[in-house]
Amino acid sequence: MQLGALLTRLSDENDAAVALDALGDVVLLAQIQEMGEQHDETPGEYVANASRRYAAQAGDEDWLALMTAIERADDPARVVLGKMLRWALACDAAPAPAAGGGCSCGSGGCDDHR
């Protein structure tokens, strides 16, 4: 499956929930459920929104790491979903920058400014 097709499928909450279940990672599932509750989202909604945010906001280094992981993976779709979800969880767990403070570079990557 091509990356664009995967991102399109993940934007559907039902497909996203099925993909999350297919990962079989109970720790990641628990983290998604917990973070989803904090944002008033079902796990499927959280996964769909996380994939959209990654596509729109991940920095160049995040994309490079993702592409490198895809090249080495036996199951690229599993790698893509896992990386996107862990990225989203890290972003959501990070404290929000103070109003008027923080970086104004517009990179959008969460790992760039920790």
Average predicted confidence (pLDDT) for the chain = 83
- Checking if the pLDDT of 114 tops 70, the result is no
Interatomic CA distance for residues 104 and 107, integer angstroms:
8
| Span 65-98, pLDDT tens digits | 999 999 999 988 889 999 999 999 999 988 876 5
- The number of residues in the chain equals 114
- Checking if the pLDDT of 57 tops 70, the result is yes
CA distances (Å), origin 27, targets 50, 63, 108, 109: 17, 24, 26, 24
62-69, long-range: CB within 8 Å, 24+ apart, which pairs?
A: 62/87, 62/109, 62/111
